[in-house]
Amino acid sequence: MILLAFIVFLLIAGFLIWWLIIETEGVYLGRRVVVALYDLVAPRYDRIKQFDEQADLTLISLPIMARLAPRPTR
């Protein structure tokens, strides 16, 4: 009976840890945990995404900046 209770406890604790860190990305654990998780995973994400700063600038940033630029009044 004690073994069964211990297994149930481990399952619940494992699920809770998974939910707090993976599913909610550490949001309920505070800003420091979110920043630490981001610092840990960001390089891997950029490799998977094949991040290209020049393409990001050309395809996203410049069009947004052009759209937000002040226009002369008539």
Q: Examine residue 11 and state whether it is found in any structural domain, yes or no.
A: yes
User: Which residues form the domain of 23?
Assistant: 2-68
Terminal Cα-to-Cα distance of the chain (whole angstroms): 83
Contact 34, 26 (CB under 8 A): yes
- Predicted model pTM: 0.56
What is the C-alpha to C-alpha distance for residues 32 and 38, in angstroms, rounded to an integer? 10
- pLDDT band at residue 57 under the 50/70/90 scheme: confident
Q: Examine residue 74 and state whether it is found in any structural domain, yes or no.
A: no
Q: Examine residue 13 and state whether it is found in any structural domain, yes or no.
A: yes
Number of domains comprising the chain: 1
- pLDDT band at residue 67 under the 50/70/90 scheme: confident
Q: Examine residue 37 and state whether it is found in any structural domain, yes or no.
A: yes
pLDDT, position 58: 87
Q: Examine residue 19 and state whether it is found in any structural domain, yes or no.
A: yes
pLDDT, position 31: 93
Q: Examine residue 73 and state whether it is found in any structural domain, yes or no.
A: no
Q: Examine residue 43 and state whether it is found in any structural domain, yes or no.
A: yes
pLDDT in tens, 4-49: 999 999 999 999 999 999 999 899 999 999 999 999 988 888 888 8
